[in-house]
Structure 1
Amino acid sequence: MKKREEKNRILILGGSGFIGNGLYKELHSYFDVHCTYCQQHGAFSENQIFHKFCVEEDSMFLLLNEIKPTVIISAINGEFKSQFETHKEIVNYALLNDGCAVLYISSVEVFNGKSSHPSYENDTTFSEKATGKFKISVEKLLLETIPQQTAILRLPIVLGINSPEILHLRQCIRHKAAFEVFPNLVITTTTINKVCQQIHYIINQSLRGIFHLASNDMVHHEDLFREITSKMGDKMPIFKSVFTSNEDKYNAIIPKKNKLPDSHQITVSQVIEECSLNEEIISIK
Structure 2
Amino acid sequence: MIKILIFGGSGYLGNTIFKELNPFYDVYCTYFQNIHFKKNKRFFCFDLNDDFTRIVKKVNPNHIISSLKGDFNKQMFFHKKLINYCDDKNIKLLFVSSSNVFDTFTNYPSYENDKTFSESIFGRFKINIENKILRMKSKKWVILRSPMIFDKNSPRIKDILIKSKRSIAIEIFPNLIVNINSAKKFAKQIHYLISRDINGIIHHGSNDLVNHDEYIFSVVKKLNIKKINYKYIYTTNDNRYLALFSNQTIFPNHLQFSFEEVLREIIK
Q: Look up the match of 2:115.
A: 124
Aligned residue runs from structure 1 range 249-260, under 5 A: 249-257=240-248, 259-260=250-251
Contact 2:150–2:157 (CA under 8 A) maintained in structure 1:
yes
- Asked if 1:36 is matched to 2:30, the reply is yes
Deviations 1:143-194 (A, max 9, x none): 2114510100001000111011112223344555422211111111111111
Q: Structure 1 residues 177, 134: CA separation in 2 closer, same or farther (over 3 Å shift)?
A: closer
Instruction: Give RMSD over aligned pairs.
Output: 1.8
- Asked if 1:101 is matched to 2:95, the reply is no
Residue among 7, 11, 20 paired with 2:14: 20
Aligned residue runs from structure 1 range 5-84, under 5 A: 7-39=1-33, 41-55=34-48, 57-84=49-76
Q: Look up the match of 1:263.
A: 254
Return the alpha-carbon distance in structure 2 between the equivalents of residues 234 and 70 of structure 1. 45
Q: Size of the alignment, in residue pairs?
A: 268
Q: Structure 2: give runs of 5+ residues left out of the alignment.
A: none
Q: Look up the match of 2:194.
A: 203
* Counterpart residue identity of residue 214, structure 2: D
Q: Structure 1 residues 141, 234: CA separation in 2 closer, same or farther (over 3 Å shift)?
A: closer
Q: CA deviation at 1:254?
A: 1.4
Q: CA deviation at 1:233?
A: 3.3
Contact 1:91–1:146 (CA under 8 A) maintained in structure 2:
no
**SS of match in other structure, 1:230:** helix
Q: Look up the match of 1:4.
A: none
- Asked if 1:89 is matched to 2:85, the reply is no
Q: CA deviation at 1:257?
A: 2.2
Q: Look up the match of 2:144.
A: 153
Q: Percent identity?
A: 35
Q: CA deviation at 1:58?
A: 0.6
Q: CA deviation at 1:21?
A: 1.1
Return the alpha-carbon distance in structure 1 between the equivalents of residues 119 and 207 of structure 2. 25
Q: CA deviation at 1:37?
A: 1.3
Aligned residue runs from structure 1 range 223-242, under 5 A: 223-233=214-224, 235-242=226-233
Return the alpha-carbon distance in structure 2 between the equivalents of residues 95 and 231 of structure 1. 46
Return the alpha-carbon distance in structure 2 between the equivalents of residues 228 and 81 of structure 1. 34
**TM-score normalised to the size of structure 2?**
0.93
